[in-house]
Structure 1
């Protein structure tokens, strides 16, 4: 019998998850509010409000895994977006018996002074970090009670195919390809881990299928850290383009702009990620899954496609 999978979200991670599963011969349903067609052969697409627990539960009937690859289009509305969505996922997972695989991030850790590993507490004090920590804590609690099976995969800032404006480096690529100076938040010269969206999808699929991996978080195997300046110019070099000048947005300007632009205000709360080394320890996942990151040159080439 062919496995059936429900992928909620058609962003970069969701698309890669769907493509990987379809290539394995699985039945795949991609659910979005608008019923977006990913263009992946053999994949079914449905329009679904995933925050509707009844509708999501119906869509999840008979599936092997529910993949939470959802990401709000508006970065400023997380408090409104996530609580009902997270609750609906838990209801659907419990009713269907499907594994609940969550695409997480590093926000729950908050500012840290060492490479992040899965044994660290979720100690964030900013509202986005607290919110994402609760998404995992609530799922983990139901897993520990034996009511669902769940796993969360956490990566750092995304690079790779289709990331575009959702990535700190990739949003600079279109201008940089035309030789324009890039302006970045925080420092341009501190090491930072970047994670390929394809590798995130690879680990999410592998972790969902591995019963011994459930009940915990895993960090996506990622390439050695690069500064923002290095990462952007590596992307340019991968397609034969010359480097560009990279400058940091002055703190005073960022603060002033945040008063008028909600998105910048949100990003400023997380600017600690770009003012000191922000490093991911992925050794646990490498050892457990035998997984290595996609070579950096290949990631850069895919990041250059706009």
Structure 2
């Protein structure tokens, strides 16, 4: 196996993956549509339309792993963004022989009444969840047919370094640090798993390079669930800031606003994640990879100072 790695996407996960690989001396190429420079030494940055299967395949030639760390800039445009990119990634993985390592999420499961484990069916009916479920189903089918090698890792909502507006907690931090009230979706008192974005990158790399881990989904080891109010309070306390008021946006207000704000309309469709316990069972990955999550206090500090 070569030690060349192609990372598609320079968002929170892609940046951590690239930095981690470069730090150990691997050859790393980060490909984005804009040619974004991650600012880390030892990484080559390429301007590339990854939905162009021929261009992506050419760049993936000779790579040991092709990482799907793409992070759509427009949350409302997934239906246009993902299908051509997912197709190109499958084509490039098959042509190049690189392992396809997919950064997934929990959307495919849809609403659940138990801790989410990898044995649950991908039963989502909302368009985002169904789309992500189909992406993994397509990759799994090619893997099972022996045409590619693929894995997908799934995490809950991101916290940690570099998450910013990509996280429900971290987007509240700038205002909360100034003593402003935090507004959250759903309920503020339900247990919810939050995943350190660095731990997501750690598992993605580990699973990609472990042949016994291929062909299935893995859940990222994450800390004990916290409510939204507890998580925001913990982040502030980690840098010795006092707690702030946390208010759940009333459902009628969210419903009315979603009629005019596309982003809120998308979030409302997934609001079930915040109205009941949303808990990740990560025991399989902990056992297989002997991996534990980054301590919560450290994750909170990195969330506060990003």
Q: Under a length normalisation based on structure 2, what TM-score does the superposition of the two structures give?
A: 0.99
Moved over 3 A (4+): none
Matched position secondary structure for 2:201? helix
Distance 2:122 2:305 in 1: 35
- 8 Å Cα contact 2:2-2:63 kept in structure 1: no
- 8 Å Cα contact 2:13-2:200 kept in structure 1: yes
In structure 2, the residue matched to 1:17 is 17
- 8 Å Cα contact 2:158-2:167 kept in structure 1: yes
In structure 2, the residue matched to 1:125 is 125
Distance 1:134 1:160 in 2: 28
In structure 1, the residue matched to 2:203 is 203
Distance 1:101 1:150 in 2: 6
Is 1:151 matched with 2:135? no
In structure 2, the residue matched to 1:115 is 115
- 8 Å Cα contact 1:68-1:101 kept in structure 2: yes
Matched position secondary structure for 1:76? helix
Unaligned runs of 5+ in 2: none
Note the C-alpha offset of 1:196: 0.4
- 8 Å Cα contact 2:181-2:245 kept in structure 1: yes
Matched position secondary structure for 1:187? coil
Distance 1:35 1:301 in 2: 30
Note the C-alpha offset of 1:71: 1.1
Q: Aligned pairs, how many?
A: 306
- 8 Å Cα contact 1:2-1:27 kept in structure 2: no
Alpha-carbon RMSD: 0.7
Deviations 1:120-179 (A, max 9, x none): 000001000000001100000000000000000000000001111111111000000000
Unaligned runs of 5+ in 1: none
Q: Under a length normalisation based on structure 1, what TM-score does the superposition of the two structures give?
A: 0.99
Distance change >3 Å, CA 90–CA 2, structure 1 → 2: closer
In structure 2, the residue matched to 1:160 is 160
In structure 1, the residue matched to 2:297 is 297
* Pairing 1:226-245 to 2, within 5 Å after superposition: 226-245=226-245
Deviations 1:53-90 (A, max 9, x none): 01100110100000000011000000000000000000
Matched position secondary structure for 2:100? strand
Note the C-alpha offset of 1:305: 1.8
In structure 1, the residue matched to 2:51 is 51
